[in-house]
Structure 1
Amino acid sequence: MDGDHLKTLILFGALLLSTPLFAAQLDLELGANGRTWQTEELLKHPQVQTITITNDVSYKRDMSYRAVPVAALLTGIKPEDHLQAVALDGFAAELSAAPLLNAKGARAWLAIEDPAKPWPALSEGKHSAGPFYLVWTDPQAGNISPEQWPFEVASIKRMAPVAQRFPALLPDPALAADDPVNKGFALFQKNCLACHRLNGAGDAQFGPDLNIPFNPTEYFGADFLTRYIRDPQSLRQWPQAKMPGFTAAVLPDGDLVMLVGYLKHMAGRKVKP
């Protein structure tokens, strides 16, 4: 190999290493309006802009992102629709479409990681929150829970409601629609179902089943379950813990009571998978 040829190969290799690779893709499975977006396309989206997130849920500090309003990507989706955001690691966030379509108050954004400007790792030895991360501006206005901030998002799918897909999660049908147990079921879907199954039902692959073999209301005494939900590390500390705490700003005391009420109710409705 002559010197000129070698120089050409070196320059070509350097060019490849210095060129951003736009390999990540986001699959939107929305029926007739579904499509796949590449990172490069999203970074050039006409509505992309720089946003600042105060006290980001995943990074625990202020963060700035290039992001597109989620509503701009949900062509054909109606407020009454139900969506599921699935992460690369199997985390599956159940999301009502209505908050995602909001243009005021709590507003959902798809943050896009630019390979040329990668985000920091979430913690030592971990990946970043990219390539795509669902974040919120003014989340307090909509009582947005930590489970509604999925990171490493790979796809967003339109799905049938949870109650239709997983009847084993349903409370006693004799209960009134406005019964606190049914309200607790709605809170369970919003705050727990992304990580936990119950009666073997759900798409989550992270936390333990919350009814089989035992329901947490059966082994947490007195007020320890509510304390655990508020701050898991206050009762059991370990470095690899993943469950976030749910503050009163995210899950008010009354809602927490209804959530625990749903779990206690379901302890009497065990269905083995």
Structure 2
Amino acid sequence: MRPLLLTLLLLCPTTFAATLTLELPDGKHDFSTEQLLANPKAQDIDVPADVSYNRTMRYRAVPLAALLQSVNPGDHLQAVALDGFAAELPAAPLLEEKGARAWLAIEEPDKPWPKLGEGKPSAGPFYLVWTDPKAAGVGPEQWPFQVAIIRYLKPLAERFPALLPAKNAPESAQKGFAQFQKNCLACHRLNGAGDSQFGPDLNLPHNPTEYFAAGYLKQYIRDPQSLRHWPEARMKGFPADVISDRELDEILAYLKHMAGRKVKAGS
């Protein structure tokens, strides 16, 4: 069992309750499903083009800002899911009350959400969703589902110096590091650094820029199944409306740069 996993408390065969843990500057807080549904700011919201379900979904949800009152816009948060997915989240967008707005969707015991696929669970019991995400360029990695913990952490550069490009790295690699944090670090580690338990390390023992033939790495990121059909694969593609061609080139520039900076985290 992973130490960060959410504890599901079975109340009867047809209902359940779950607990969300918040580790914030003002301390640790645990909220049950019932407590969150009873929050005075809870309301029904419609989410068009939901990232996980690829259709409009209706949720009972609480504005995430209402749960993060001790958090400042300059802070850094991390949402950890049951499967080890660890989304790195700058606090500022999560605290916005206009434009792109973050919500904690709560799966109601008597209204279970659809399964994410055959043999898979739903996105519940807690799911970070957005209304008007395009207003702030919110990407799919900022929609963590099956959330167990949301916690305040120091910035990535302080926690994991092994992720940093060299000070004299090309501008494209520096920008690529920012894109890597936003789009890749939720699933992958690099140089052993990162909190995710979801996907493989992208620099140890080998960097993908070292073993993918020219052009194929871009194709793989855009549509993994187009190169290697694997029904159980968990990586979704990143179309151009999620990561632009320029941003994808920046990610590849960062990875190529880091292939020359292999180092185990903490060394």
- Same topology, TM > 0.5: yes
Partner of 2:245: 253
Write the mapping of 1:84-233 to structure 2, written as runs, cut at 5 A.
84-175=78-169, 179-233=171-225
Which is further off, 53-62 or 161-170? 53-62
- Say if 1:272 and 1:33 are closer, same or farther in 2 by CA, change over 3 A: closer
Percent of matched pairs sharing the same residue: 65
C-alpha separation between the residues in 2 aligned to 1:52 and 1:72? 19
The counterpart of 2:73, out of the listed 60, 69, 79, is: 79
Q: CA deviation digits over 1:23-62, x for unaligned, max 9?
A: 3011110021541111101111111111111121111222
More helix by share: 1
Q: Given that residues 18 and 32 in structure 2 are in contact (C-alpha distance below 8 angstroms), is that contact kept between their aligned partners in structure 1?
A: yes
Where do 5+ consecutive residues of structure 1 fail to align?
1-15
Q: CA deviation at 1:117?
A: 0.9
Q: Tell me, what secondary structure is at the counterpart of 1:40? A: helix
Moved more, 137-146 or 163-172: 137-146
- Residue 224 of structure 1 deviates from its aligned partner by 1.1
Q: 1:169 to 1:36 in 2, by over 3 A?
A: same
- Residues 18/235 of structure 1: CA separation in 2 closer, same or farther (3 Å cut): closer
C-alpha separation in 2, matches of 1:258 and 1:128: 34
CA contact (8 A) 1:143 1:251 kept: no
8 Å CA contact 2:25, 2:71 repeated in 1: no
Contact 1:140–1:249 under 8 Å retained in 2: no
Aligned CA RMSD, in angstroms, stands at: 1.6
Gaps (5+ residues) in structure 2? 1-10
CA distances 1:136-184 after superposition (whole Å, capped 9, x unpaired): 11112222111111111011000011111111111002348xx221111
> Are the counterparts in 2 of residues 33 and 76 from structure 1 also a CA contact under 8 Å?
no
Structure 2 CA distance for aligned equivalents of residues 51 and 88 of structure 1: 24
Compare the two structures and name the one with the higher strand fraction: 2
Runs of 4+ in 1 over 6 A off after TM superposition: none
Query: CA shift at 1:73, angstroms?
Result: 0.7
The SS at the match of 1:237 is coil
Letter aligned with residue 100 of structure 1 = L
Which stretch shows the higher mean deviation, 209-218 or 136-145?
Answer: 136-145
Contact 1:80 1:98 in 2 (8 A): yes
- Indicate whether 1:38 and 2:41 are aligned: no
- The match for 2:232 among 227, 230, 240 is 240
**In structure 1, what is the Cα distance between the partners aligned to 2:75 and 2:190?**
23
1:221 Cα deviation (Å)? 1.5
Shift of 1:20: 4.2
What displacement does 1:232 show?
1.1
Displacement of 1:18 in angstroms is 8.3
Q: 1: CA distance between counterparts of 2:163 and 2:13?
A: 50
Give the AA of the match of 1:156.
Answer: I
Greater shift, 136-145 or 186-195, is seen at 136-145
Equivalent residue letter for 1:255: E
Aligned residues between the structures: 255
Given that 2:204 and 2:262 are in contact with CA atoms closer than 8 Å, whether structure 1 keeps it comes out as yes
